């Protein structure tokens, strides 16, 4: 039996584990019905049986479908992570690589909140799976199987509809339309990281979230709810790390509490979280190409934010590194950067993916427009 988490409560969930495949009756389950709260199960893979015909893989089946998954662990990080899901009415899908979440994608002092437990030593990026109740996992480090050291996080983002459309402001220099936290259904009981205010905003940092490119625009609010739960609860950050998130249709979602109108410190570029504005595009742009609508929206929101403090998005700024693991620059190093730059410019990471990185000048032009 595994824990299922809701906002502020921990209840027992009857997650069932199968040693092999899934029966036809179980595989034919329909997608989960409407739910008003995001929940999740944590499954210690040491308790999961090995997969039939896949000695190095562990199989988990839950009693209710879920839509997003992640992996966390204590101790050294695996160097190879693979997952595959079984969709209702079909066989096992292809194996997919999961990317470890770099320490550079985090707030400073990430253990400031822990929702009643310690934060994990490491975690993967999350993966959007649509709807499944069966998953197989395998992990290796230095050629050795380490799957049993991991735990699976199976997330069921709330399915309630997003009320209304994006909130827009009128007038010259007005903020572009944004779906607010209230509109996308943020559970504020999970918000345990009170806003920390910087003196100003000097630059915008472009990211990708990596989880998948297969979501629909109708599902994007649920993707944001799932990311919020993962950051706030499973990683122990107390809130979502990015100030804004943008889907493939160009819809902008408010992220970090207070991050739109204030100079609130986020958790997206460790060592540079103060005085920067984190803009994350939903998707993996190492493999896919960003949509024109998403690029335009990223530029519009970055340009608006920098414009509130009179900063030219085509200009450059000087930032001082706060250091940290995977940071390219030691603590105290001063460097000059474009006012719109990417995560890989300051950290040892592929973020925001080669295809989005190649379009940074287009984002800057939109920001200046």
Dump pLDDT digits (tens) for 252-261: 999 999 999 8
Q: Tell me the per-residue pLDDT of 167-190, one tens digit each, with 9 for 90 and over.
A: 766 555 789 999 999 999 999 999
Is 134's pLDDT higher than 90? yes
* Mean pLDDT, range 156-165, rounded to an integer: 74
What 8-state DSSP symbol labels residue 345? G
* pLDDT of 116 over the 80 cut: no
Percent of the chain past pLDDT 70, that is, above it, reads 85
Ordered by start, the domain boundaries in the chain are 2-156, 181-368
- Orientation of helix 292-307 relative to helix 360-368, angle to 10°: 50
Please choose, from the candidates 139, 171, 155, the residue with its C-alpha nearest in 3D space to the C-alpha of residue 68.
155
Tokens of 232: 């706030």
CB 15 within 8 A of CB 60: yes
Q: How many CA atoms lie within 13 A of 348 on its CB side?
A: 11
Residues in the chain: 369
How far is it, in rounded angstroms, from Cα 293 to Cα 290?
Answer: 8
Q: What burial class does residue 147 get, using C-beta atoms within 10 Å of its C-beta: 0-12 exposed, 13-18 middle, 19+ buried?
A: buried
Higher pLDDT among residues 353 and 261, named by residue:
353
The reported pLDDT for the residue numbered 165 is 66
CATH number among 1.10.10.10, 3.20.20.220, 3.40.50.2300, 3.40.80.10, domain 181-368: 3.40.80.10
Res 168: pLDDT: 65
CA 320 vs CA 216, 267, 332, 333, 346: distances in Å: 39, 17, 6, 5, 11
* pLDDT, averaged across the chain: 87
* pLDDT band, residue 109 (cuts 50/70/90): low
How far apart are the C-alpha atoms of 102 and 272, rounded to whole Å?
A: 14
Mean pLDDT of 223-237: 96
* pLDDT at residue 62 greater than cutoff 70: yes
Q: Report the distance separating Cα 133 and Cα 89, nearest Å.
A: 11
pLDDT at 352 (0 to 100): 97
Q: What average pLDDT score do residues 144-152 get?
A: 97
Handedness of CA 23, 28, 31, 34 (dihedral sign): negative
- How confident is the model at residue 136, as a pLDDT? 97
DSSP 3-state assignment of 229?
Answer: helix
pLDDT band at 164 (very low <50, low <70, confident <90, very high): low
Rounded Cα gap, residues 146 and 148, in angstroms: 6
At residue 66, the pLDDT reads 96
Identify the helix (H) or strand (E) that includes residue 357.
Answer: helix 354-357
Predicted local distance difference test score (pLDDT) of residue 22: 37
**CA–CA dist 166, 155 (Å, integer):** 25
pLDDT tens track for 261-315? 899 999 999 999 999 999 999 999 999 999 999 999 999 999 999 999 999 999 9
Please determine, for residue 34, whether its predicted confidence score (pLDDT) is greater than 70: no
pLDDT at 26 over 50: no
More confident residue, 106 or 287: 287
pLDDT tens string 243-252: 999 999 999 9
Residue 196, pLDDT above cutoff 90: yes
């Amino acid at each position: 039996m595994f824990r299922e988490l809701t906002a502020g409560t921990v209840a027992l969930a009857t997650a069932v584990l199968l040693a092999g495949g899934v029966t036809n009756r179980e595989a034919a389950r329909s997608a989960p019905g409407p739910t008003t709260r995001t929940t999740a199960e944590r499954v210690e893979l040491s308790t999961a049986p090995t997969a039939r015909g896949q000695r190095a893989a562990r199989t988990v089946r839950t009693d209710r479908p879920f839509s997003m998954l992640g992996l966390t662990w204590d101790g050294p990080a695996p160097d190879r992570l693979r997952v595959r899901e079984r969709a209702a009415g079909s066989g096992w899908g292809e194996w997919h690589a999961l990317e470890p979440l770099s320490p550079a994608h985090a707030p400073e002092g990430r253990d400031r909140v822990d929702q009643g437990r310690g934060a994990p030593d490491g975690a993967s990026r999350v993966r959007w799976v649509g709807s499944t109740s069966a998953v197989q996992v395998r992990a290796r480090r230095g050629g050795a199987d380490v799957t049993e050291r991991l735990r699976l996080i199976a997330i069921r983002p709330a399915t309630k509809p997003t009320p209304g459309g994006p909130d827009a402001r009128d007038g010259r220099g007005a903020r572009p339309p944004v779906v607010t936290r209230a509109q996308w259904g943020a559970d504020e009981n999970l918000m345990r990281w009170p806003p920390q205010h910087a003196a100003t905003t000097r630059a915008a940092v472009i990211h990708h979230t990596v989880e998948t490119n297969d979501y629909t625009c109708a599902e994007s609010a649920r993707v944001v709810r799932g990311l919020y739960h993962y950051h706030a609860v499973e990683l122990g950050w107390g809130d979502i790390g990015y100030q804004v998130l943008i889907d493939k249709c160009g819809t902008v979602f408010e992220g970090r509490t207070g991050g739109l109108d204030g100079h609130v410190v986020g958790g997206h570029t460790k060592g540079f979280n103060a005085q920067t504005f984190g803009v994350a595009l939903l998707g993996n742009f190492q493999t896919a190409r960003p949509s024109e609508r998403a690029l335009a929206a990223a530029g519009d929101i970055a340009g608006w934010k920098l414009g509130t403090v009179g900063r030219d998005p085509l200009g450059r700024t000087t930032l001082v590194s706060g250091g940290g693991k995977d940071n390219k620059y030691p603590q105290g190093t001063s460097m000059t950067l474009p006012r719109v730059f990417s995560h890989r410019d300051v950290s040892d990471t592929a973020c925001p993916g080669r295809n989005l990185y190649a379009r940074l000048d287009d984002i800057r032009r939109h920001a200046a427009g």
